[in-house]
Structure 1
Amino acid sequence: MLWTIIGIIFVLWLLGFLFDIAGNLVHVLLVIALIVFIFQMMAGRRKG
């Protein structure tokens, strides 16, 4: 589920970057996705 969300946000970021769509909103969403991804990686290491 997390990988799907990250993939979708990354594609939207690329489209926004290439075609200048939605301004900075897509960049903010990408940063949020990156923070969530890093948090999940750290939380996964503690459990395993």
Structure 2
Amino acid sequence: MLGWAITFLVIALIAALFGFGGIASASAGIAQIIFFVFIALFVIAMIARAIRGRPPV
């Protein structure tokens, strides 16, 4: 999932470089949403792992 966020970020940067503002804005927004979903799932996984008795890696 983090790979998808980075991919959309790169697309946004390339689009902004070439002057495609709408595409750059949309790609940056998608990248931001995917990144925050990744962070939320990561935190939930670490909490679940800690509750089950295994220390986080």
TM-score by length of 1: 0.64
Work out which of the residue numbers 27, 31, 37 in structure 1 matches 2:35: 37
Distance 1:15 1:42 in 2: 30
Distance 1:5 1:45 in 2: 22
Greater relative contact order, per chain length (Cα 8 Å cut-off, separation 6+): 1
Contact 1:13 1:30 in 2 (8 A): no
Report the identity percentage: 16
**Runs ≥4 in structure 1, deviation > 3 angstroms?**
none
CA RMSD of aligned residues (A): 2.3
Uncovered stretches (5+) of structure 2, i.e. residues with no partner: 47-57
Q: State the number of aligned residues.
A: 44
SS at match of 2:21: coil
